[in-house]
């Protein structure tokens, strides 16, 4: 897609989270710490899964892709966000559209990676004897390819509809990244098509993903409750617990940001709520999936022994 600029605006100024001068340094240090933790945590998990053959299973294949997506989409906007805390954050028109595309691509892809992870747990607990056949490497690869293709389609829809707009007056984006809604508010042309695309894509992604995950875990819960032994139920719950927490954090904050924010107002509420799924969730995912995971802990100890000794 050629990024043709039909607007008189050639660059945008990102307002950021807050314009209060006394908050700039504390916010810079806070989000720098979050970013470093996100990069180290997700790259560490990616490396750990890649180096340990014991983690070469469908569950960790999906986790590998989740960490890759979290790492990538944090890198899409966080460096520019940090710049805003120490100087005026200016981004070119092409840079803004590029940031919008990759942000939408990775966020949409993550939704369907989480769906794939829920399906993986459903097969593992409800049909354990068929798990190896059902979750074959070919099936897992196709599921990930489908997730990335859906993410690409959603990003193309958002970015393509944004490129048709003209920006001719204000170039001040009331956000810390080039997001769909703040950009629509700056357009001096009609945005009805963009609003329709937004609600179809975002509503569809959240609805389909949420329902798919809910059905998977409803069936998982029903299967777990039929397990006769307390130990067996506890093991099954611990296997799914981390994924449930990650899903709740991601979809809860994302749904609150988009589905409760109207176009005319509620800008600040949506901006601050989006911090949770754009910054906090990618940082927490490596912790959520490793702290209570015996396989990851064992692989980490094994890797450290190999590297250090």
DSSP per position, 89-146 = EEEEHHHHHHHHHHHHHHHHHHHHHHHHHHHHHHHHHH-GGGHHHHT-HHHHHHHHHH
Six token digits for residue 132: 């190896």
Please tell me the predicted confidence (pLDDT) of residue 6. Answer: 53
Please tell me the predicted confidence (pLDDT) of residue 189. Answer: 84
Please tell me the predicted confidence (pLDDT) of residue 262. Answer: 52
Angstrom distance (rounded) from CA 66 to CA 61:
9
CB atoms within 10 A of CB 79: 10
Angstrom distance (rounded) from CA 89 to CA 86:
9
Please tell me the predicted confidence (pLDDT) of residue 263. Answer: 47
Backbone angles phi, psi at 15, to 5 degrees: -65, -40
Residue 98 pLDDT exceeds 60: yes
How many helices (H) and strands (E) the chain has is answered by: 11, 3
Please tell me the predicted confidence (pLDDT) of residue 230. Answer: 73
What is the share, in percent, of the chain residues with pLDDT greater than 70?
Answer: 90
Residue 20 three-state SS: coil
The arithmetic mean of pLDDT across residues 99-114, rounded, is 94
Angstrom distance (rounded) from CA 282 to CA 176:
17
Global pTM value: 0.88
Q: What is the mean pLDDT of the chain?
A: 84
Angstrom distance (rounded) from CA 300 to CA 132:
25
Residue 41 pLDDT exceeds 70: yes
Model confidence at 159, in pLDDT bands (50, 70, 90)? Answer: very high
Residue 258 pLDDT exceeds 70: no
Sheet strands (E) in the chain:
11-14, 89-92, 172-173
More confident residue, 38 or 309: 38
CA distances from 62 to 115, 143, 144, 273 (A): 10, 9, 8, 26
Please tell me the predicted confidence (pLDDT) of residue 36. Answer: 95
Residue 62 pLDDT exceeds 90: yes
Instruction: Sort 129 into a burial class: Cβ within 10 Å, 0-12 / 13-18 / 19+.
Output: exposed
For the chain, the residue count is: 309
Name beta bridge partners: 90.
Answer: 13
């Amino acid at each position: 897609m050629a990024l043709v600029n039909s607007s008189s605006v050639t660059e945008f100024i990102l307002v950021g989270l807050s314009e209060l001068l006394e908050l700039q340094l504390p916010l810079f240090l806070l989000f720098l710490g979050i970013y470093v933790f996100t990069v180290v945590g997700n790259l560490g998990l990616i490396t750990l899964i890649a180096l340990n053959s014991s983690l070469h299973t469908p569950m960790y294949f999906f986790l590998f892709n989740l960490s890759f997506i979290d790492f990538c989409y944090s890198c899409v906007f966080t460096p520019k966000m940090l710049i805003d805390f120490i100087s005026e954050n200016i981004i070119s028109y092409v840079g803004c559209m590029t940031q919008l595309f990759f942000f939408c691509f990775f966020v949409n892809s993550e939704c369907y990676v989480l769906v794939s992870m829920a399906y993986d747990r459903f097969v593992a607990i409800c049909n354990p004897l068929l798990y190896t056949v059902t979750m074959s490497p070919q099936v897992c690869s196709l599921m990930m390819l489908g997730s990335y293709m859906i993410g690409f389609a959603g990003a193309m829809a958002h970015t393509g509809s944004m490129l048709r707009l003209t920006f001719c007056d204000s170039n001040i984006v009331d956000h810390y990244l080039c997001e769909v809604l703040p950009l629509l508010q700056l357009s001096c042309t009609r945005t009805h098509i963009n609003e329709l695309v937004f609600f179809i894509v975002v509503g569809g992604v959240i609805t389909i993903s949420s329902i798919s995950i809910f059905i998977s875990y409803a069936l998982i819960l029903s299967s777990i409750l039929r397990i006769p032994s307390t130990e067996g139920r506890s093991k099954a719950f611990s296997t799914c617990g981390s994924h449930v927490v990650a899903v709740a954090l991601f979809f809860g904050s994302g749904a609150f940001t988009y589905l409760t924010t109207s176009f005319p107002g509620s800008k600040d509420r949506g901006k601050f709520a989006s911090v949770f799924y754009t910054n906090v969730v990618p940082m927490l995912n490596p912790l959520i999936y490793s702290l209570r995971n015996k396989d990851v802990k064992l692989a980490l100890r094994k890797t450290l022994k190999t590297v250090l000794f």
